Amino acid sequence: DGLRSLAWSLGRRCLPADTGTYPGLELPERAAQPKLPGGGSPAFPSLHDAVLRFAARGEDGVPVCWKPQTLARRWVPAKTPAPPPRYLRRRVEVNRNSAEFKAVTGYFQATLHCTASVASLTRLEHSEVYRRYSPVGGETIMFHGCKTPKNEHGIIEDGFKVSHCVSGGANYGTWFAYNASYSNSGYVLTEGAVRHIFVCVASYCDVKRDDATMRVVGQDCAYPMWL
């Protein structure tokens, strides 16, 4: 069991592995984590926060883990974060020796509650989808699984679509688990001995449901950061 590279699972070529070094990059502290009455929270706060720092939105409007030197910036950083570039759309295999890989997979394995080896980790950089995402209210690293290659491909290409929601009723929301173990209990794409799972950021912008196990959010309130 484990995460699998998108390049392998869909037969597409990834960019060369990310070196995991970001000259001059400072990882911001995480946003405050609000908690709704009766709502859930990460089981391993320190491990969770280590991942969230990589997913945090920087001054240039994109997550800090998206390699800054490759974005061809066309604006001057201002007090108000600039919108992300419209043209960025790629999949980057994260270097196994990088701090990002260790943080993301460490949190995944801690919340999986069973032994698993991680085949690979792919960062999904899609600026058009990320542009729509709202981090209002604070963000949480959460997990999402889908059972078919078609659904997985749809999420990669165009993000989460509430209009495709089945559970909870039409247009109810997209479901995310606080722990990878929940997604792994029958909700992930399985190809032989390998399982796929999205590691996402989910906000409190439009919460339909929040309990100790999961959170359901409205349209554009989550982004698939890694697979």
Question: Does position 19 have pLDDT exceeding 50, yes or no?
Answer: no
Q: How high is the pLDDT of residue 188? A: 86
Percent of the chain's residues with pLDDT above 70: 72
- Name the pairing type of β-strands 15-18 and 89-94: parallel
Percent of the chain's residues with pLDDT above 90: 51
The Cα angle at residue 160 between residues 174 and 227, in degrees rounded to 5: 105
pTM of this prediction exceeds 0.95: no
Condensed to tens digits (0 to 9), the pLDDT of residues 138-161 reads 999 999 998 889 999 999 999 999
Q: How high is the pLDDT of residue 141? A: 97
Gap between the Cα atoms of 125 and 61, Å rounded: 13
Q: How high is the pLDDT of residue 37? A: 57
User: 59 falls in which pLDDT band (50, 70, 90)?
Assistant: confident
| Contact in structure between 47 and 54 (CB atoms under 8 Å) | no
What is the residue-averaged pLDDT of the chain?
Answer: 78
Q: Which residues contact 12 (CB under 8 A, 6 or more apart)?
A: 6, 91
Question: Does position 16 have pLDDT exceeding 60, yes or no?
Answer: no
Residue 209, exposed/middle/buried by CB under 10 A (0-12, 13-18, 19+)? middle
